[in-house]
Amino acid sequence: MKHNWKITLILLAFFLVAQFIGIAGMYNYIDTEKSQQEGKTIFKDLPTGERPQMDEKYSFIPITLAVLIGTIFLLLLIKYNLSWVWKIWFLLAVFLALTISFSAFINTKIALFLALTFSIWKIFRPNFYVHNLTELFIYGGLAIIFAPLFNLVSVIILLIIISIYDAYAVWKSKHMITMAKSQTKAKVFAGLLIPYSLKRAKKKTKTKLKKVKTAILGGGDIAFPLIFAGVILKEFGLWQSLIIPFFAGLGLLYLLLTGDNKKFYPAMPFISAGCFLGLGVIALISIL
């Protein structure tokens, strides 16, 4: 096993909660009146402005390029030890995502205040509780931005590309491992951090966060299946989208049960396989 049963179940539970919070947020962004008028799912505008204008058929191309450019930028920051630039960049990204995510459930002004408070807290006074709490909402905010930009075919292509890239970045070039270690060291890791010992985590949170034995799950491993679920919500409906997290979770669980605790693994190939299996189940149900 990659981790013991306790940590495995906690990690899986956090993954599923983040998925369902994200789906609830996307559902709340649906403009019911316009959707009924136009006969298709229409999402409300974001509180921070309009979404990027993209052709749904080819939206996987600019998103893939953005991931590659972001990776190169982060590797350069790591190489030249510019962690302060990464912190500012990360702070802005977290603030934007939390504002959008919180606005799905509460008044926008309150959402802005909470997003700013938690973003600053997360970056400058990090602890495991605030870090993981915000992670549960961040990826819902990203999915609210990006899921409406895809159709079913383009999001399938995106998951395939990201899965191949993830496998290459972990098993071949290993730069994904370098980024994960550097982010953890700088205390600005994008993803879940589950400590093996909460007592030790409390003692070491302020100064030695990186030395606590911790299970991690990268942010992309949460965001991409959530975007996929958002497209299912858009194309098929709410109950169909709720099926996807369970199958994505099965893919993650398979990895956690079969993985070696001394090795790094790309999670996206397993999670994507679960997403595609879930899509197959949805298709089968619709036929029956």
The pLDDT assigned to 186 comes to 72
Site of tokens 């953890």: 184
Q: What is the pLDDT of residues 154-206, one digit of tens each?
A: 999 999 999 999 999 999 989 888 888 888 777 788 899 998 876 655 555 44
Strand partners, 191: 218
According to the model, what pLDDT value does residue 187 have? 76
**Cα separation of the two ends of the chain:** 37
Query: d(Cα 210, Cα 189) in Å, to the nearest integer?
Result: 10
Q: Residue 215, SS3?
A: strand
Strands (E), the chain: 191-195, 214-218
Q: CA nearest 175: which of 61, 68, 269? A: 68
Domain boundaries, the chain: 5-45+75-287
Q: Under a CB-based contact definition with an 8 Å cutoff, are residues 262 and 58 in contact?
A: no
pLDDT in 10s for each residue of the chain, 288 residues: 888 999 999 999 999 999 999 999 999 999 999 999 998 999 999 998 888 889 999 999 999 999 999 999 888 988 888 878 888 999 999 999 999 999 999 999 999 999 999 999 999 988 889 999 999 999 999 999 999 999 999 999 999 999 999 999 999 989 888 888 888 777 788 899 998 876 655 555 443 444 568 888 999 999 999 999 999 999 999 999 999 999 999 999 999 999 998 888 999 999 999 999 999 999 999 898
Q: Which residues pair with 30 in a beta bridge?
A: 43
Distance between CA 104 and CA 186 in Å, rounded? 31
Task: Give the pLDDT score at 201.
Answer: 52
**What confidence score (pLDDT) does residue 127 get?**
87
Give the pLDDT confidence score for residue 200 in this predicted structure.
54
Q: Hey, which residues does 192 pair with through a beta bridge?
A: 217
pLDDT computed for residue 235 by the predictor: 95
Alpha carbon distances (Å) from 184 to 67, 103, 135, 165, 167: 19, 29, 14, 21, 20
